[in-house]
């Protein structure tokens, strides 16, 4: 017991990685895909492998415009390595759980204390909804993680002018667009505006910061727009128009059951 305690406090990140694997990996592939989205995304990945066409998501071998392909590419890679099965479809989110644990500890330690970072990571992993998400085959865990990395990177930049974390955050926001669409831009943008007004006495946007923020914006546009540009010029541009129309419908109507209170995300 003393050995495990010493190992944990000496090698915290290795301990989080090993602990996450022990908690998340067993039996993850034993349950059939049951959620509507789980089945759709896994089928998109399977059809990419069958058709050997990886730039346009397909469902029933027809273009699938509801989601960009980043998460589906992760599933394809796992299926290439471990076969076309439930575990491979859910493995990207197991990896997501490991990364999330390490990042929660990192930022918790950086912003408050090592004890807070450990508590934050363990409580998050032990909560019902995150635990289920990390064992699922849906997009949301990666979408949430990329949004968290962007927001945390912006906080680091505003606190300490960390260009590294600004660029990591900007790239993450771009990747979130390639994961599920542009809604994360609105969610994190409004959250940052709220943070800025809460801390406007401490946060100053001088000319240097504005210039660096512009570079971060360019990186976000490049990362977030890369697949759309490729698909528009060298793929099937109709899927881009259909995707944009679908996003507008999501905001305006209760399409595919996506209804409810507008501020739900902020409350959660």
Residues in Cβ contact with 119 at an 8 Å cutoff, skipping those fewer than 6 apart? 108
Name the token pair of 56: 């346009």
Q: What's residue 223's pLDDT? A: 95
Q: What own/partner pairs with CB < 8 Å and gap ≥ 24 does 79-85 have?
A: 79/45, 79/46, 79/49, 80/49, 84/46, 84/49, 85/29
Match 């694997």 to its residue by tokens.
Answer: 21
The residues, any chain, with a CB within 8 Å of residue 219's CB and separated by 6 or more, are 167, 170, 171, 174
Q: Residue 129, SS3?
A: helix
The answer to whether the beta carbons of residues 185 and 177 sit under 8 Å apart is yes
- Three-class SS state of 83: coil
| pLDDT of 7 | 60
Show pLDDT as tens, one digit a residue, over the chain (268 residues). 565 556 666 678 888 899 899 999 999 999 899 888 999 999 999 999 999 989 999 999 999 988 999 999 999 999 999 999 999 999 999 999 999 999 999 999 999 999 999 999 999 988 988 989 999 999 999 999 999 999 999 989 988 888 999 999 999 999 999 999 998 998 888 888 888 777 765 667 778 888 999 999 999 999 999 999 999 888 888 888 888 888 888 777 665 555 556 565 555 4
Residues 70, 115: Cα–Cα separation, whole Å? 34
Tokens read off for 266: 């902020």
3-class state of residue 20 by DSSP? helix
Q: What is the pTM of this model?
A: 0.88
User: Cα separation of 226 and 219, whole Å?
Assistant: 10
* Contact criterion met (CB below 8 Å) for 169 and 153: yes
Q: Where are the beta strands (DSSP E) in the chain?
A: 58-59, 62-63
CB 13 within 8 A of CB 100: no
Q: Where are the domains of the chain?
A: 12-138, 147-268
Rg, the chain, Cα only: 20
Q: How high is the pLDDT of residue 159?
A: 84
Contacts (Cβ under 8 Å, ≥6 apart) of 72: 41, 44, 45, 48, 57
Per-residue model confidence (pLDDT) at position 13: 87
pLDDT at 12 (0 to 100): 82
Are the beta carbons of 178 and 69 closer than 8 angstroms?
yes
């Amino acid at each position: 017991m003393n050995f495990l305690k010493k190992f944990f406090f000496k090698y915290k990140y290795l301990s989080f990685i090993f602990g996450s694997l022990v908690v998340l990996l067993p039996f993850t592939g034993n349950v059939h895909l049951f959620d509507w989205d789980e089945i759709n995304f896994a089928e998109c990945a399977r059809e990419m492998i069958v058709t050997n066409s990886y730039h346009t998501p397909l469902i029933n071998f027809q273009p699938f415009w509801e989601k960009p392909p980043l998460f589906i590419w992760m599933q394809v890679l796992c299926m290439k390595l471990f076969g076309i099965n439930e575990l491979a479809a859910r493995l990207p989110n197991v990896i997501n759980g490991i990364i999330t644990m390490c990042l929660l500890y990192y930022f918790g330690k950086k912003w408050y204390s090592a004890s807070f970072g450990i508590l934050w990571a363990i409580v998050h992993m032990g909560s019902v909804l995150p635990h289920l998400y990390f064992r699922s085959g849906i997009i949301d865990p990666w979408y949430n993680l990329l949004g968290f990395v962007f927001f945390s990177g912006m906080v680091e930049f505003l606190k300490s002018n960390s260009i590294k974390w600004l660029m990591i955050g900007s790239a993450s926001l771009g990747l979130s667009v390639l994961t599920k669409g542009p809604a994360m831009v609105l969610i994190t943008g409004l959250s940052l505006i709220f943070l800025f007004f809460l801390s406007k006495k401490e946060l100053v946007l001088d000319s240097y910061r504005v210039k660096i923020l512009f570079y971060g914006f360019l990186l976000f546009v490049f990362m977030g727009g890369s697949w759309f540009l490729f698909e528009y010029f060298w793929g099937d541009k109709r899927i881009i128009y259909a995707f944009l129309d679908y996003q507008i419908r999501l905001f305006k109507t209760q399409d595919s059951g996506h209804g409810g209170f507008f501020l739900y995300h902020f409350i959660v």
